[in-house]
Amino acid sequence: MLRALARVDVAAIERNCARLAAVAAPARLCAVVKADGYGHGAVPAAHAALAGGAQWLAVATAGEAAELRAAGIGAPLLVMGALSEAELRVALTARADVVAWREAFVQALPAGTGVHVKLDTGMGRLGTRDAEEALAVARAVAAAPGLRLAGAMTHFATADDDPAFVAEQLAAFGPWAEAVRALEPGVLVHAANSAAALRVPESRFDLVRCGIAVYGMDPFHRDPAAHGLEPVLTLSTYVAEVKLCAPGQSTGYGRRFVAERPTWVGTLPIGYGDGVRRALTNNADVLVDGRRRPLVGTVSMDNVTIDLGPDGGGEAHRGAPAVVIGAQGGERILAEEVAERLGTINYEIATGISARVPRHYVRSS
């Protein structure tokens, strides 16, 4: 039994992508596999996404593109992030399309490069806010010998919680995208992330870029089942030790749990070194024997402790499987629940599972 294990259901990724592709149609699905596939493993996630109906893949960095190509993945690939001169060479060697918003960047591109021009309609990060400047960049790409004007794009800032601002962004993006399409009728227009793809039909254009939903997490931070999505990842461990804790006895650094009654405490060999955040101290549940057991005491780097209750037979739990994220019996703990307890988002929960936790790939039926 491994001290900690992240079980990744690649069949669930396939089914999620089939669901998203059906919702997006006739637009194409681009699966975002940046940050090591949101912590699930970029290469297995990419293979599963393509098998489920994705036609494009997107990453944030040149190194991520190179990793996919080294694994033999030949699908169309977009590097969405900013690129230094050295990183640009890596991205182009990986035969990836790149994003541009400055003419000086375009002038440095060699023939054969696919370019997606980005208009900043409200995210306030990459891209230019000036629609005329962005159109001039698109014209420069279209006029450059050997360059391909491959895409016109933007990114929504509030698709999960503020439809009014999404409408403002669409109003700014739509006319500009049509002007770019006039330069190159085959250009791919794309704007929608997971939340917009599911909730804002008019945002789908030619391509949707789905990330969090591919992995069966809810872009609206509630319940993925509401959108026909299946959680892909289970984070598990086991009860390595149990002991009876008498009233007044404590467990963990700082004595942040002191027993008020006799109770059995189980130690699980997983901690913040694995991605179980320290802020979950006295603030989480773990599943053992299909029941929720409160996490008690301070989360340390390598261990957490749980309250198994005062009932006899506590020692019988020694060696029992424990689930930190996922389902066991009739109970489940979603990444969304963990995120809510931490005051963050499900993205951070998945990407925060550290590299020392092995990923095991399975196929559910």
Domain of 254 in residue numbering reads as 233-333
Q: Is the pLDDT of residue 314 over 80?
A: no
- Which CATH number belongs to the domain containing residue 250 in this structure? 2.40.37.10
18 and 129 both lie in a single domain: yes
Whether 191 and 76 map to the same domain: the answer is yes
Q: Which pLDDT band, with edges at 50, 70 and 90, does 311 fall under?
A: confident
- Mean pLDDT estimate for the chain: 97
Three-state secondary structure call for residue 250? strand
Q: Is residue 355 part of a domain?
A: no
Residue 77, burial from CB neighbour count under 10 angstroms (0-12, 13-18, 19+): buried
Kindly state whether residues 176 and 44 are assigned to the same domain: yes
Does 173 lie in the same domain as 296?
Answer: no
Task: Provide the pLDDT for residue 1.
Answer: 81
- The per-residue pLDDT for range 138-194, each reduced to its tens digit, is 999 999 999 999 999 999 999 999 999 999 999 999 999 999 999 999 999 999 999
Q: Quick one: average pLDDT of 57-81?
A: 98
Instruction: Indicate if the pLDDT at residue 312 is higher than 80.
Output: no
Return the percentage of the chain with pLDDT > 90, whole number: 98
Question: Active site residue: 34, 38, 118, 238, which one?
Answer: 34
The larger pLDDT score, comparing residue 307 to residue 315, is at: 307
Q: Are 165 and 29 contained in the same domain?
A: yes
| Residue 157 forms part of a structural domain | yes
215 and 276 both lie in a single domain: no
The number of CA neighbours under 13 Å toward the Cβ of 24 is: 32
Establish whether 215 is a catalytic residue: no
Our count of domains for the chain comes to 2
Whether residues 42 and 165 fall in one domain: yes
Is 80 exceeded by the pLDDT of residue 204?
A: yes
Catalytic annotation, pick one of 215, 253, 272, 347:
253
User: Could you confirm whether 38 is annotated as catalytic?
Assistant: no
80-98 pLDDT per residue, tens: 999 999 999 999 999 999 9
Residues contacting 259, CB < 8 A, separation 6+: 245, 246, 247, 248, 249, 250, 265
**Terminal Cα-to-Cα distance of the chain (whole angstroms):** 24
Could you tell me if 219 and 244 lie in one domain?
no
Q: To 10 degrees, the CA torsion angle through 342, 355, 286, 334? A: 60
In a domain, 33, yes or no: yes
Predicted local confidence at residue 91, as pLDDT: 98
pLDDT band at 354 (very low <50, low <70, confident <90, very high): very high
**Residue 316: what pLDDT?**
84
**174 shares its domain with 249:** no
Same domain, 303 and 219: no
Whether residue 205 is found in the same domain as residue 239: no
Question: pLDDT digit string (tens) for 263-291?
Answer: 999 999 999 999 999 999 999 999 999 99
Indicate if 241 and 160 belong to the same structural domain: no
* Average pLDDT over every residue of 18-23: 98
Nearest to 210 by CA among 6, 27, 66, 75: 27
Task: Confirm whether 5 is domain-assigned.
Answer: no
Domain end call among 225, 251, 275: 225
Q: From 171, 196, 225, give the residue that closes a domain.
A: 225
Assign 315 a pLDDT band (cuts: 50, 70, 90).
Answer: confident
In this prediction the pTM is 0.96
